[in-house]
Amino acid sequence: MTLAARAPEFDTATHVETLSRDGITALKGAFSVEWVDQLREDMLTAFWAAIQRPRGAVGRGPRRWYVEVHPQDITGFVDLVTHPWVTAISEAVCGPDYQIVEIGFDVPFQGARNQPWHRDFPSPPETYEGRRITSLAFNMTGVDVTEDMGPFEIAPGTQYDDGRAWKHEMFPDKAEWPRFAERGVRKYPQRGDISARSALTIHRGTRHDSPIARPVLVLGVDAPGAGHAELHDLMVTQEYFDALPPVVQKHLVCSIVEELVPVTQKHDIEGLVMGAD
């Protein structure tokens, strides 16, 4: 399914301005509901396989996991990474030689608790001094998010906070949490919406009371030199790589292998394992 021609109109400069100010921006209705339903099926299939092997799924708090997958595990991977909005934002923020370094998903289940406020990795000097975003996390929900599904909460404008004094340079002290809570905005995306954010913008997953799991796709994009490919292990088969459009081959940072092996998660955010409450 090719959805590029069905992409809603958008103004790249406006989205980049919003991203630079708030640390997050989004496009409504970027994909069809049918496309997202297949994505949800792919994510949950990958989860049940990953949870059965050591370090196939890593804890991000009680009843909450992160799973990294192969591009080939996502039926619509090429649709996603060639979507005009994804490519436009990636190029505008991370440059013409942007790198696709991660594909995976977070999934909370009923009983997941509030996470501590955090960012996903330490901030580089380019960001806390130069106010330049050097990496992006694109997110797509697999379900229509409701209040009881533990919606993602983000504190706009905090992507430029220094953070070097925080635990692991990622976890602000609890004394600072009221500042983030005051700014905090909960997001309720619907199937087909896509967002782009700096993973340095302070955020958290919230309490999940619904019996419906809420898988959220994560596509990681770097500017050259940002270095996050080292935290991941994208791999594809030669046959799959050869069939990719040249524009995807250009940007995908991956190993080409004869046979895929299960992903062993490298990026374990230790401070999220216990949750905040």
CA distance 13 to 130: 20
Q: What is the pLDDT of residue 4?
A: 46
Name the DSSP letter for residue 195: E
Share of the chain above pLDDT 90, in %: 85
Q: What is the pLDDT of residue 77?
A: 97
Residue range 114-146, pLDDT digits in tens: 999 999 999 999 999 999 999 999 999 999 999
The pTM score is 0.94
Token representation of residue 146: 């409701």
Residue range 155-173, pLDDT digits in tens: 999 999 999 999 999 999 9
User: Which residues are 257's β-sheet partners?
Assistant: 237
Residue type at 205 in one-letter notation: G
CA distance 213 to 171: 26
CA distance 161 to 93: 19
The full set of domains in the chain, from first to last, is 9-257 (2.60.120.620)
Residue range 172-221, pLDDT digits in tens: 999 999 999 999 999 999 999 999 999 999 999 999 999 999 999 999 99
Token representation of residue 153: 């909460």
Q: What is the pLDDT of residue 147?
A: 97
Quick check: 274 pLDDT over 70?
Answer: no
Q: Which helix (H) or strand (E) holds 179?
A: helix 177-183
Share of the chain above pLDDT 70, in %: 93
Q: Which helix (H) or strand (E) holds 152?
A: none
